[in-house]
Amino acid sequence: MAPRILLARHGQTAWSLAGKHTGRTDVPLLEEGRRGAKLLGERLHRPPLDGLPGVEVRTSPLSRARETCELAGFGERASEWEALVEWDYGAYEGMTPDEIQAVNPGWLIWRDGVPEGETLAEVTARADEVVAWARDADRDVLIFAHGHMLRSIGARWLGLPLDFAARIRLNPTSLSVLGWAYGEPAIESWNDTGHLAG
């Protein structure tokens, strides 16, 4: 079977709740985020996934992703990977989209990037590294990471430019699956938060 990537976005933080760009700032999970991580773990451990035996697990080293991974029950199986950290937002770190628009009208991160931070090319290269690793695997992989990084991986899995990620939103503690259809890279499911309704 061709490998799939299962993408788990970290749980809710105070900054994600406020809509702030949270790159390398190590913001902890809120209690809501911890609850969501546990519910995600319950989902991943019941049929049909049954705890994903044999899956290789990687997590961003930032605490909000790492703790989500641990609370979901995959901490002991996970390796930290620097390639999975969130976009370095540079001068826009901690700002909301409205605050950024006030100083840079018409700005779109997926087209314009950020001043003093990571470039579009650098984010693309990191996403491509993750995609290449997953495609070389002979098993499914499970990744715990961040909204913009996971959206970037989604775009690059499909072979599309980074700006496609603007069209595929991700909520905190969502589960997405990238796989194959007719031999081509495909989205099996995206931004699934059904487990949070429990």
Query: What per-residue confidence (pLDDT) applies to 43?
Result: 95
Query: What per-residue confidence (pLDDT) applies to 197?
Result: 85
Considering the entire predicted model, what is its pTM?
A: 0.95
The CATH class of the 5-193 domain is alpha beta
Per-residue pLDDT of the chain (198 residues; tens, 9 = 90+): 468 999 999 999 999 999 999 999 999 999 999 999 999 999 999 999 998 998 999 999 999 999 999 999 999 999 999 999 999 999 999 999 999 999 999 999 999 999 999 999 999 999 999 999 999 888 999 999 999 999 999 999 999 999 999 999 999 999 999 999 999 999 999 999 999 986
Q: Give the domain ranges of the chain.
A: 5-193
Query: What per-residue confidence (pLDDT) applies to 121?
Result: 97
CA distance 32 to 196: 10
Q: Residue 186, Cβ neighbours under 10 Å: how many?
A: 14
Q: How far is CA 172 from CA 6, 89, 137, in A?
A: 15, 19, 27
Alpha carbon 46 to its chain's center: 22
Which of 56, 67, 86, 93 is catalytic? The answer is 86
Q: What is the DSSP string of 62-96?
A: SHHHHHHHHHTT-GGGEEE-GGGSPP--GGGTT--
Which of 10, 146, 148, 195 is catalytic? The answer is 10
Strands (E), the chain: 5-9, 56-59, 78-80, 141-145, 175-181, 184-192
Query: What per-residue confidence (pLDDT) applies to 3?
Result: 86
Q: How far is CA 32 from CA 12, 37, 102, 148, 194, in A?
A: 6, 9, 30, 20, 15
- Amino acid at site 195: H
- Residue 146 known to be catalytic: no
CA distance 160 to 140: 22
Q: Say which residues have a Cβ less than 8 Å from residue 125's Cβ, sequence separation at least 6.
A: none
- Residue 10 known to be catalytic: yes
Quick check: helix, strand or coil at residue 52?
coil
| Nearest-5° Cα angle at 56, 53 to 60 | 130
pLDDT tens per residue, range 85-122: 999 999 999 999 999 999 999 999 999 999 999 999 99
Query: What per-residue confidence (pLDDT) applies to 2?
Result: 66
Query: What per-residue confidence (pLDDT) applies to 141?
Result: 96
Query: What per-residue confidence (pLDDT) applies to 133?
Result: 94
| Interstrand relation of 141-145 and 5-9 (parallel, antiparallel or unpaired) | parallel
| Nearest-5° Cα angle at 99, 65 to 146 | 15
Mean pLDDT of the chain: 95
Query: What per-residue confidence (pLDDT) applies to 198?
Result: 60
